[in-house]
Structure 1
Amino acid sequence: MILVLVLLMVVTTVSGCGVPSHRPDTSRVVNGKEARPYSWPWQVSLESFYPTCGGTLIAPNWVLTAAHCITFHTYRVVLAEHDMNREEGPEQSIMVAKMIIHPNWNDNCVSCGNDIALLKLEKSAVVSDKVQPACLPQHGVSLSHDQPCYITGWGRLYSGGPRATTLQQALLPVVDHSVCSQSDWWGSSVRATMVCAGGDNKSACHGDSGGPLNCVGKDGRWYVEGVTSFVDGRGCNTPKKPTVFTRVASFIPWISETMARN
């Protein structure tokens, strides 16, 4: 059976990472809802001629996103963004100085994995109560089945629906690889270097690509455990086809080496 995939386009832990000054509302609401403003202070909007993808601030001058998001020559990131239709005051717009796509990424084979990229900013973001980096997980760490994590972004509210104008969040419980790789789920299209989450009535959708899968650690800090990669071609909320994320914990050596070299 040929599965149609849809891309969702339209290191050392940083000190002080993963602790929002404005705490997110994490009541176990499955359906997506508007996020509390600035409660995900590492979320960025990646923009060229228009907003295209999301991303995660992992250091004052580094953003993590998906490789498939990089299709233009010039990008900027906008931090402290909440309402896309309003200039609210705390936004920081910074040009991207360097785009580094994982060397094994193949844009003709998203299910081959390695859908990850690093963006070096022209200048460091000003860290504040509204702009803070997320923590990176330890290399190789695994998430437990049904672990509550949250996706954030300005993607479409549902397949074929309008894009969100304000930052949305949705609870996406982790689906263990042993389940997600079953033949009636994603099968061989999902690899050990990926994370599945959701698969019920909420998922990522077009425009959420590159954004974070946010999971809270035992230390109470928030970690970017996934980079939003793809959903099923039949729609964003297809049963047994949870959102697939690049598993950040599989790429910590590459992230660390890339940031050190550049």
Structure 2
Amino acid sequence: MGTVLADRISLRYTMPWQAMIISCGSQICSGSIISSSWVLTAAHCVRNMNPEDTIAILGLRHPGAPLRVVKVTTILLHERFRLVSGAARNDLALVLLQEGQNSIQMLAPLGHLKNLNSSECWLSGPRILKPGETDENPEILQMQVMGASSCAYLYPDIGSSIVCFITQAKGYDTNMEPVSPGSAVMCRPISGNGKWRQIGFTSLKSLATIVSPHFSWILSTLAKAGHPLNQDRMPWIEKPKSSGFLKYPSTLLLSSVIIIEAQMFL
């Protein structure tokens, strides 16, 4: 895993329906499980990965259960994905997992909220901890969606399905990614007892891709690939079974990941 050997991967703020995607070239991405076969993630993070050298680690937030390592067989990038002006347009990719190894119970609660400015939003996903860094500061994962005009001013060519966000922690370096690329953006309405929904996932820096404009692309792409989603089981507007973001602290030593990955390719 090269230069990140001394780092740790914190799983404290992950959800059970998330996965880590790891290549032997040291790239680490986060993703959301949308079926027993598919993980949704950020295209810019997996665009250079070779499926033959890539694995997915599942079971990140099942206390007491072992992590599961599954081989990746296919990586499909959005056909209109491109990098422009420091941002990624159509930053979506679908990762196909090897069949026969998964018993997925909980799927990502993909959904849509009309007004993100009146919503409470958090980031959820694996964090790469630098030597000496801790994960005792959850405020860096509380986010606020920036106004559309301000975001368009900073990134005039990003398109309508990308939003800018700022984290709530004072003094935090906004050029750093607080979670791995492809991590979930979880939101719920401030008023009432709104449900937590994954409305998007992290892209480059402080940008996030909104998922709902791409629902039809996800369905058609997976159908063309011969592994369609069972639409009766799509929990895209449901509340995740575990809505607490600050429970079950867990830190995974990177050396453990290396051992797991090495065993996978033996």
| TM-score, L = length of structure 1 | 0.65
Q: Which amino acid aligns with 2:57?
A: V
In the other structure, the counterpart of 2:213 is 250
2:72 and 2:168 mapped to 1: Cα distance?
Answer: 36
Residue of structure 2 equivalent to 1:35: 12
TM-superposed CA distance for 1:226, in Å, is 1.4
Q: 1:189 to 1:108 in 2, by over 3 A?
A: closer
Contact 1:112 / 1:189 at 8 angstroms: preserved in 2?
no
Q: Distance in 2 between matches of 1:225 and 1:259?
A: 20
Gaps of 5+ in 2: 5-9, 226-266
Aligned CA distance change for structure 1 residues 61 and 175 (closer, same or farther; 3 Å): same
- In structure 2, the CA distance between the partners of 1:221 and 1:122, relative to structure 1 (3 Å rule), is farther
Q: Where do residues 98-137 of structure 1 align in structure 2 (5 Å cutoff)?
A: 98-107=74-83, 111=87, 113-123=89-99, 125-128=102-105, 132-137=106-111
Of 122, 127, 131 in structure 2, the residue corresponding to residue 150 of structure 1 is 122
Map of 2:183 onto structure 1: 211
Secondary structure in 1 matching 2:110: coil
Match of 1:44 in 2: 19
Could you report, residue by residue, the CA deviation over 1:197-226 in whole angstroms, capped at 9, with x for unpaired residues?
224436661761011112247885433211
Q: Spell out the pairing of 1:1-262 with structure 2 (5 A cutoff).
A: 35=12, 40-49=15-24, 50=26, 52-70=28-46, 71-73=48-50, 74-81=53-60, 89-107=65-83, 111=87, 113-123=89-99, 125-128=102-105, 132-137=106-111, 142-156=114-128, 170-181=141-152, 183=153, 186-201=154-169, 205=177, 208-216=180-188, 221-231=195-205, 243-262=206-225
Take 2:132 and 2:177, find their aligned partners in 1: how far apart are those partners? 11
In 2 relative to 1, CA 107–206 (structure 1 residues): closer, same or farther, beyond 3 Å?
farther
Q: Evaluate the alpha carbon distance shift between residue 92 and residue 156 of structure 1 in structure 2; reply closer, same or farther with a 3 A threshold.
A: closer
What amino acid does structure 2 have at the position aligned with 1:78?
A: I
Counterpart contact for 1:146–1:174, Cα < 8 Å: no
> For this pair of structures, how many residues does the alignment match?
204
SS of the equivalent of 1:104 reads coil
Which residue of 1 is the match for residue 240 of structure 2?
Answer: none
SS in 1 for 2:127: coil
Aligned partners of 2:158 and 2:131: how far apart in 1? 26
In structure 2, C-alpha distance between the alignment counterparts of 1:109 and 1:95, rounded to whole Å: 34
Distance 1:126-1:51 versus aligned 2 partners, 3 A rule:
farther
Q: Unaligned regions of 5+ residues in structure 1, if any?
A: 1-9, 11-32, 232-242
| Cα distance in 1, alignment partners of residues 199 and 134 from structure 2 | 23
Runs of 4+ in structure 1 over 3 Å off: 33-36, 107-110, 160-166, 216-222
Q: Which has the higher helix share?
A: 2
The answer for the alignment partner of 2:255 in structure 1 is none
**CA pair 145-162 structure 1, distance change in 2 beyond 3 A:** farther
Letter in 1 for 2:20: S
Q: Call closer, same or farther: CA 1:95–1:41 in 2, change over 3 Å.
A: same
RMSD of aligned Cα (Å): 3.4
Using the size of structure 2 for normalisation, the TM-score is: 0.64
Q: Which moved more, 1:96-105 or 1:190-199?
A: 190-199
**Conserved in 2, the CA contact under 8 Å of 1:156 and 1:163?**
no
Q: 2: CA distance between counterparts of 1:176 and 1:255? A: 27
SS in 1 for 2:34: strand
Q: Residue 99 of structure 1 aligns to which amino acid in structure 2? A: I
- Structure 1 residue 77 displacement after superposition: 1.0
